[in-house]
Amino acid sequence: MSRLAVFCPAVENPHAIRGLVERASIGCELWLIVRPAQFPDPPRRRLRALPARIRYHLRNSIDREIPANGMPWNIRIKDHESGTVTEQTVDQPTVHIGRDPNSDVLLKHDRVSRRHVEIRKIDGGVSVVDSSSNGTFMRKARAWIRIEGTAELSPPFTLRIAHWTVKIEDAPAPVPVEEEAEQAWDESIMIPAASLGRRTEAILVFDLCESSLIASNDDHMAYHLKQRLTQIAEPVLDEYERRFFKSTGDGFLATFDDTDKALNAAIKVEDHIQYRNQRTSNLPIHYRIALHYGDVWAISAGGEDVHGHDVNVTFRIEGVQSPAFTEVIELFPKRDRILCSGRFQHAVQDTVERLSQECVHCGAATLKGITDPVDIFWLKTKYSIVDLDSTLALRSAPVPR
Decide: 306 and 299 in contact? Cβ < 8 Å.
yes
252: enclosing H helix or E strand: strand 251-256
* Entry field: residues in the chain: 401
Distance CA 112, CA 100 (A): 9
Decide: 157 and 168 in contact? Cβ < 8 Å.
yes
Decide: 317 and 376 in contact? Cβ < 8 Å.
yes
C-alpha distance from residue 270 to each of 1, 128, 172, 206, 390 (Å): 37, 45, 44, 10, 18
Environment class of 190 (CB within 10 Å of its CB; exposed 0-12, middle 13-18, buried 19+): exposed
31: enclosing H helix or E strand: strand 29-34
Nearest to 10 by CA among 47, 87, 64, 81: 64
The order of strands in the sheet holding 189-192 is: 3-8, 29-34, 189-192
390 DSSP 8-state letter: S
Distance CA 36, CA 285 (A): 56
Distance CA 372, CA 312 (A): 13
Distance CA 350, CA 345 (A): 9
Counting Cα atoms < 13 Å in the Cβ hemisphere of 142 gives 0
pLDDT of the chain along its 401 residues, tens only? 334 444 444 333 444 444 444 444 444 444 444 443 433 444 443 444 444 444 444 444 443 333 444 567 788 888 888 888 888 877 778 888 998 888 888 898 888 998 999 988 877 678 899 999 889 998 887 788 899 989 888 888 889 999 889 888 877 655 544 444 344 334 444 444 444 578 899 999 999 998 889 988 988 999 999 999 999 999 999 999 999 999 888 899 999 999 999 999 999 999 999 999 999 898 999 999 999 999 998 775 444 688 899 999 999 999 998 888 877 777 888 889 999 999 999 999 999 888 888 899 999 998 988 889 999 999 998 888 765 444 444 433 333 33
Decide: 151 and 128 in contact? Cβ < 8 Å.
yes
Decide: 168 and 73 in contact? Cβ < 8 Å.
yes
Longest dimension (CA), the chain: 79
Decide: 339 and 362 in contact? Cβ < 8 Å.
yes
Counting Cα atoms < 13 Å in the Cβ hemisphere of 198 gives 16
Within 10 A of 238 (CB to CB), how many other CB atoms are there?
A: 11
* Cα of 201 vs its chain's centroid, Å: 15
341-353 residue pLDDT tens: 999 999 999 998 8
Decide: 315 and 205 in contact? Cβ < 8 Å.
yes
